[in-house]
Structure 1
Amino acid sequence: MIGTDTGVGKTLVSCALILALRARGVSAVGMKPVASGALHDASGRLANEDAEALARASGMSHPTRLTNPYLFEAPLAPHVAAQREGRSIERSVVLDALSALRDTADHVIVEGVGGFVVPLGDEWTTADLAVAIGAPLVLVVGLRLGCINHALLTAEAVRARGLELTGWVANCQPEGMLEQEATIFALNARLGAPILGIIPRLSVADAETACRLLDVRPLLPGPG
């Protein structure tokens, strides 16, 4: 799961996608390889809101070291947060955790961080991680001014790396925008991938509501 930017609804859509798959009898688990921004819960454990939401949607119990291998307290770009804590984000750690999760479910929904090309270290980015994983990508487009450019550039960057954009979701942002329908039409005509759903402005980010608005059939294997 990738997005046109930070704050466009990747977690909401990821959770909704997990719930929609589960409703079809397909087991799915969420993974947030890298999360920045965490608070101590009642037990004193450091926890990230997005990673916790993915875990709840999955309905399974997995160790955090698998579902959220890297968690940083400061809400900063991942490589900056890692430097601040004297740590580094290792590709092998993420891929080993993903491999373990794949043994437990039909689908692993991996939620990215920020946009598509976010530094994870001096020499690699979230786009490099997507290439290493090699799975089809779903793009969340936050409907706001400028989103057409952001979405098309993201799709171009995805395909330039030999990856498949298997679908996209339009997420109506709280501030709204003029001509939303025209924007969705323009994106649908240009992205070259099916639209999986349109999520209206929700007073509360409710994955249960959002999942009923998604069509996950393009993500499922065809007959035979």
Structure 2
Amino acid sequence: MKEFFITGTDTDAGKTHVTSLLLKLLAQHKKQAIGFKPLASGCEMAFDQLVNADALILMESATVSAKYDVINPFAFAPAIAPHIAAEQAGVTITADNLSSAYKNVKQQGADYILTEGAGGWALPISNTDYLYNWVKAEQLPVILVVGIKLGCLNHALLTTAHMQSMGINCIGWIANQVDPNMDEYQANLDSLKLRLPFPILAISPYSEQTPKLQIYKTLLENFALNT
């Protein structure tokens, strides 16, 4: 089983967009893949339960089916930081109950599990803990989604520096063009390629039609899709 954690440089970097494209890539290669969205806020009631649009996208893109509460075990209505929403709802999020939820995902029979984080890399899950500590405890390889927009250099460099300080296994980054009108898009992309300590895996150019993913060999190698 291959497992990956997809994080972003900030809350609007395009984690769901990229995770969905990666699940579809695995589907094209006839792989059994599932998405996992452990934490989600900004949920709405449907079928007598809170559901999140991003989690539903992951479910639609996966080749392995599971019940909604397996894919998204912690769902909160307010569109605020999950640890604040959890406190308001009287729910405690810990690394242990995240790991218990993750075990449920592992039991669904997938060969690939793509876990999408919430917000950016340094996401609190309580007043004393962060989601990245759970990622490190589970020893999950990390893929960083960089939202290509003004400020992306600072966000990406700070995020990767923190990962390196923790000894996180970041296998690479994916550029997601979120601003179609960004000045000097290519120059910023080149600057990231030059400065980031991890290899680029793919580029998702901005598109109002069918989303596409320009794939680098390193991604295929990490996903074992090169044979």
The answer to whether the superposition gives a TM-score over 0.5 is: yes
SS at 1:71's partner residue? strand
Shift of 1:175: 5.3
Match of 1:174 among 153, 170, 179: 179
CA distance in 1, matches of 2:61, 2:225: 25
Tell whether 2:218 aligns with 1:214: no
Pick closer, same or farther for the CA change 1:180–1:146 going to 2, 3 Å: same
Match of 1:67 among 54, 71, 84: 71
Pick closer, same or farther for the CA change 1:38–1:162 going to 2, 3 Å: same
The answer to whether the 8 A contact 2:7-2:118 is kept is: yes
Match of 1:97 among 89, 101, 113: 101
Name the stretch that deviates more: 30-39 or 126-135.
Answer: 126-135
Give the corresponding residue for 1:116: 121
Post-superposition Cα deviations, 1:96-143, rounded to whole Å, max 9, x if no partner, equal 222232242111101011110111101111211211221111111111
Identity %: 33
Shift of 1:65: 2.8
The answer to whether the 8 A contact 2:64-2:110 is kept is: no
Match of 2:150 among 145, 159, 167: 145
The answer to whether the 8 A contact 1:166-1:218 is kept is: no
Aligned residues: 219
Give the corresponding residue for 1:199: 204
The answer to whether the 8 A contact 2:147-2:177 is kept is: yes
- Aligned Cα RMSD in Å? 2.0
Letter in 1 for 2:149: R
CA distance in 2, matches of 1:98, 1:123: 21
Letter in 2 for 1:220: F
CA distance in 1, matches of 2:187, 2:179: 18
Give the corresponding residue for 2:164: 159
**TM-score (norm: length of structure 2):** 0.89
Shift of 1:33: 0.6
CA distance in 2, matches of 1:174, 1:180: 9
Letter in 1 for 2:36: M
Structure (1 or 2) with the greater strand fraction: 2
Pick closer, same or farther for the CA change 1:177–1:156 going to 2, 3 Å: same
Shift of 1:90: 2.4
Shift of 1:17: 0.7
Name the stretch that deviates more: 57-66 or 178-187.
Answer: 57-66
Give the corresponding residue for 2:25: 20
SS at 1:145's partner residue? coil
Give the corresponding residue for 1:4: 9
**TM-score (norm: length of structure 1):** 0.90
Letter in 1 for 2:63: G
Shift of 1:219: 1.9
Post-superposition Cα deviations, 1:45-71, rounded to whole Å, max 9, x if no partner, equal 321000111111113221233211100
CA distance in 1, matches of 2:12, 2:225: 33
Gaps of 5+ in 1: none
Gaps of 5+ in 2: 1-5
The answer to whether the 8 A contact 2:7-2:142 is kept is: yes
Give the corresponding residue for 1:52: 56
Post-superposition Cα deviations, 1:181-220, rounded to whole Å, max 9, x if no partner, equal 111111111212221222122226x5xx33x433431322
CA distance in 2, matches of 1:192, 1:36: 31
Tell whether 2:108 aligns with 1:107: no
Shift of 1:25: 2.6
